[in-house]
Amino acid sequence: MATINSTSFSGETLEIIAFRLHDQEFCVKTTTIREIRGWAPSTPIPHAPADVIGVMNLRGSVIPIIDLAYKLGMQSTVANERSAIVVAEVHNMVIGMLVDRVSDILTIASNQVQPVPEVTASFDRAYCEGIIATENGMICFLNLAKMFKENETDELAA
């Protein structure tokens, strides 16, 4: 029998931004998001990690742009006119995450976030804070702080 992971949410409501990567829906808390921008080409940087598409100028600050699909182990996203850059602050560093499109901004009850079931012993649930079941499917609630470890954001800033 599978065990379940406990979630770390407290309070009565959560505001989330939902977005799509390929055919899957993900979300993050709005409190970690600075802004959402339309896709604009970024400047590649030599010898960057595989999930770093490049950098962009955000009002005078150069920020890394991450291929979020690749970071999650999916096929890389091919940017198009519907793509968006979700700009977030993680460990005091601003990063841009390429997504296929932003779906919605929602307010949900914290008890709607279900724990992630344990699939196998080798399955790393650190990236997923929980699952939200909706009428149209399920949304994977991402934990950006665990996805981008503090020393990793230091490397991106270098």
DSSP string, 20-73: EETTEEEEEEGGGEEEEEE----B--TT--TTEEEEEEETTEEEEEEEHHHHTT
Let me know how many helices (H) and strands (E) the chain has, helices first.
3, 11
pLDDT for the residue 5: 43
pTM above 0.75, yes or no: yes
pLDDT tens sequence across 104-127: 999 999 999 999 887 765 556 778
Q: Which residue has the higher pLDDT, 136 or 70?
A: 70
- Spatial contact of 118 and 4, defined as CB atoms under 8 Å apart: yes
Window from 3-7, 40-44, 52-56, 100-104 with minimum mean pLDDT: 3-7
Q: State the pLDDT confidence band at 152, using cuts at 50, 70 and 90.
A: low
Q: Does domain 11-145 have CATH number 2.40.50.180?
A: yes
